[in-house]
């Protein structure tokens, strides 16, 4: 006999991975999304799968960078002046989370979840017949100056302390690893256990297609609220009318906090807008992704071209994309790969769903026993998608989870 039904709001990589793991447990699962699966933030990311991604965005010393955030619209992190009053409470929490002892705790909490990235995806991609989309190739980070390399020392130490393999490279080793890179990099780091997805949208689509082929259902509707009875969510208010539910998982990315607030759970969630520029025929084929240590973007050799993605802009959900940031990414790509063909470029901006402590929100609602949360994965939602699916399925089943979910508690704020 199959288990009772579960409705997952949001068909980004997190919602699709959650739906897939719940389906594997025998639940009848319905995915609800206002748009096609995978076509919001989950489509345009850098594609990095990084089980060693334990470093929070807010690191010690972040306060000193505030003037640069506010004055340089092309800086690795910038905040739009006009949006500052709205972002201030979130930024204050973000700065408080960047204290050294808290950063160590956050790294401890990220490692067990993200450490399962490849293993948790393997289960899903094997079933869906798309293991070819996952590359465990490693990636390198490259620095133009010793000073920039030294300023990231704590980030590398946080990884090493948690068993992430980190191999330092000199200029000659960088050139040997990737001969197409400009000869401007003096220090590098190879992370051999990390990798990337050949195309993140294709991954979400393939998992979604398998979910449907295995009996899952999909409703294209926008969810605006909940009908509540006796401490439970009885139905979703949607553009297609009320949708009765038995159990619900909220996995609506950056829009989750608004919906969670209607259920009495208040999560500070801010969009950290990121950009990509994508070149379909670059004429080069790097062996692995490359991260710029100075500018904090990734250049990833995807199946359909070279993608340069990253940077952080805090400007809310409604402001139009900032051309200066796109121009900066193009400049950086030319600087990194002077021989690449940069014709027929496409550009994209997306909204990372970010908590101030860089930890996701995964767990059961305290107020409504039939509601679970799975959102707020920030910069690592692609890495965290499948591990979150696995953890959430454990929580729903009442099985002892493989990892301690306490650090991801929806009630921690």
Enumerate binding residues for ligand FAD (CB under 6 A): 9-15, 32-35, 40-42, 45-48, 222-223, 251-255, 274-276, 298, 309-310, 350, 352-353, 375, 377-383
How many CB atoms lie under 10 A from the CB of residue 299?
A: 31
- Backbone torsions φ then ψ of 293, nearest 5 degrees: -65, -35
Query: 30 has which bridge partners?
Result: 7, 217
Query: Closest CB to ligand FAD among 310 and 363?
Result: 310
Query: Closest CB to ligand FAD among 150 and 266?
Result: 266
Nearest Cα neighbor of 267 from 275, 257, 277 is 257
298 half-sphere exposure, CB direction, 13 A CA radius: 21
Q: Whole-number minimum distance, CB 97 to ligand FAD, in Å?
A: 17
Q: Whole-number minimum distance, CB 170 to ligand FAD, in Å?
A: 26
Query: Closest CB to ligand FAD among 21 and 298?
Result: 298
Query: Which H or E element spans position 134?
Result: strand 134-135
Q: Whole-number minimum distance, CB 313 to ligand FAD, in Å?
A: 10
Query: 120 has which bridge partners?
Result: none
Q: Whole-number minimum distance, CB 12 to ligand FAD, in Å?
A: 2
Find out whether 360 and 378 touch, Cβ atoms under 8 Å.
Answer: yes
Helices (H), 115-231: 117-128, 146-151, 153-161, 171-177, 200-213
Nearest Cα neighbor of 401 from 389, 385, 383 is 389
Q: How would you label 109-134 residue by residue, b for 16+ Cβ within 10 Å and e otherwise?
A: bbbbbbbbbbebbebbbebbebeebb
Find out whether 67 and 84 touch, Cβ atoms under 8 Å.
Answer: no
Query: 274 has which bridge partners?
Result: 350
DSSP 66: H
User: Among all chains, which residue has been given the structure tokens 């060693």?
Assistant: 52
Query: Closest CB to ligand FAD among 3 and 321?
Result: 321
Query: Closest CB to ligand FAD among 75 and 172?
Result: 75
Q: Whole-number minimum distance, CB 37 to ligand FAD, in Å?
A: 7
Q: Whole-number minimum distance, CB 337 to ligand FAD, in Å?
A: 18
Q: Whole-number minimum distance, CB 21 to ligand FAD, in Å?
A: 14
Q: Whole-number minimum distance, CB 35 to ligand FAD, in Å?
A: 4
Query: Closest CB to ligand FAD among 11 and 130?
Result: 11
Query: Closest CB to ligand FAD among 205 and 377?
Result: 377
Query: Closest CB to ligand FAD among 2 and 346?
Result: 346
Query: Closest CB to ligand FAD among 9 and 191?
Result: 9
Q: Whole-number minimum distance, CB 183 to ligand FAD, in Å?
A: 26
CA 337 to chain centre: 26
Residue 233 buriedness (CB in 10 A; 0-12 / 13-18 / 19+): buried
337/242 Cα distance (integer angstroms): 52
């Amino acid at each position: 006999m199959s288990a009772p039904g579960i409705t997952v709001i949001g068909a980004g990589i997190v919602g699709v991975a959650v739906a897939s793991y719940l389906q594997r447990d025998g639940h009848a699962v319905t995915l609800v999304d206002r748009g096609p699966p995978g076509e919001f933030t989950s489509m345009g990311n850098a594609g990095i799968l990084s089980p060693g991604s334990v470093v929070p965005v807010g690191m010690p010393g972040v306060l000193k960078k505030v003037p640069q955030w506010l004055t340089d619209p092309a800086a690795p992190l910038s905040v739009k002046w006009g949006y500052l009053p709205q972002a201030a409470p979130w930024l204050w929490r973000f700065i408080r989370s960047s204290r050294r002892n808290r950063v160590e705790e956050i790294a401890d909490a990220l490692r067990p979840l993200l450490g399962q990235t490849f293993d948790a995806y393997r289960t899903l991609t094997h079933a869906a017949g798309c293991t070819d989309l996952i590359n465990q190739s490693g990636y390198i980070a490259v620095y133009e100056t010793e000073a920039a390399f030294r300023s990231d020392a704590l980030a590398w130490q946080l990884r090493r302390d948690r068993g992430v393999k980190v191999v330092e490279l000199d200029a000659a080793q960088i050139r040997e690893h990737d001969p197409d890179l400009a000869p401007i990099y003096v220090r590098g780091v190879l992370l051999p256990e990390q990798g990337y997805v050949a195309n993140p949208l294709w991954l979400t689509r393939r998992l979604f297609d398998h979910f449907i082929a295995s009996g899952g259902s999909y409703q294209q509707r926008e969810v605006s609220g909940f009908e509540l009875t006796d401490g439970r969510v009885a139905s979703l208010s949607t553009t297609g009318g009320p949708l009765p539910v038995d159990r619900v998982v909220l996995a609506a990315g950056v829009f989750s906090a608004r919906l969670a607030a209607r259920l009495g759970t208040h999560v500070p969630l801010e969009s950290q807008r990121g950009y990509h520029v994508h070149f379909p025929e670059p004429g080069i084929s790097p062996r692995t992704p490359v991260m710029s240590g100075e500018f904090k973007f990734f250049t990833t050799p995807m199946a359909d071209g070279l993608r340069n993605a990253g940077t952080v802009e805090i400007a809310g959900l409604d402001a139009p994309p900032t051309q200066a940031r796109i121009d900066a990414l193009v400049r950086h790509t030319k600087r990194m790969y002077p021989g690449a063909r940069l014709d027929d470029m496409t550009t994209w901006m997306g909204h990372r769903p970010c908590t101030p402590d860089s930890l996701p929100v995964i767990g059961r609602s305290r107020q409504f026993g039939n509601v679970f949360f799975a959102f707020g994965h920030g910069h690592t939602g692609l890495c965290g998608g499948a591990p979150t699916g696995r953890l959430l399925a454990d929580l729903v089943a009442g099985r002892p989870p493989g990892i301690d979910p306490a650090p991801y508690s929806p009630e921690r704020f």
